[in-house]
Amino acid sequence: MSQFNVIVYNIDYDNDGEKIDLPDCLYMAFAKRQDDEEMEAAISDEISDLTGFCHKGFKWRPNYLKNIVAQSSDDPLVDLMTLARAATQGQWHIQEGVEEAPEITAGEDQVIGHEGFWGDPDQDWANAAYIAAACPETILPLLKELAEYRAS
């Protein structure tokens, strides 16, 4: 069964000004994704259940990595397709980024990631080139072709 994982942060506890060691960030898993209002109510209840304290507010976001990993199957092809569909779509490129380290980008200026900084610069650029070449635009058609081959 797939879960919906969230990260809850900036929790403003209602502790009447007492100095109490309470977590700044909580990781939670729910049976399914609900609309925002229902999610916030469920998260609110869970904060109180986990800490024993009420709160005056919080922020939350999906835990993207956990949600993707939670969908993993026994088939690496299916898992790779899931990851490729979740990644930034379009063609990826490499360019010089911070401290001359390679930067992987999509579109005009969307930074996807950085490679290296302290390693071997030649290897960093080779890794970045591979990551950029393995973008979803390239990988998904190959995976589709492999899936069709398997099915035949």
- Written as tens digits, the pLDDT of the chain (152 aa) is 467 889 898 999 998 888 888 988 898 989 888 899 999 999 999 999 999 999 999 999 888 766 666 666 677 888 788 778 878 888 898 888 777 788 888 887 788 888 776 677 888 888 889 899 998 899 999 999 998 898 88
The total number of structural domains in the chain stands at 2
Range of the domain at 33: 4-67
> What is the CB neighbour count within 10 angstroms for residue 93?
16
Say whether both 40 and 13 belong to one domain. Answer: yes
Query: For the whole model, what pTM was predicted?
Result: 0.54
Cβ neighbours of 11 (radius 10 Å): 20
**Distance between CA 14 and CA 33 in Å, rounded?**
27
62 and 130 part of one domain: no
Instruction: Tell whether 107 and 145 lie within a shared domain.
Output: yes
* Residues 59, 81 within the same domain: no
**Across the chain, how many H-helices and E-strands are there?**
5, 6
| Same domain? 38 vs 86 | no
Last residue in a domain, options 67, 87, 115? 67
Residue-wise burial string across 25-52, b where 16 or more C-beta atoms lie within 10 A, e elsewhere: ebebeeeeeeeeeebeebbbebbeeebe
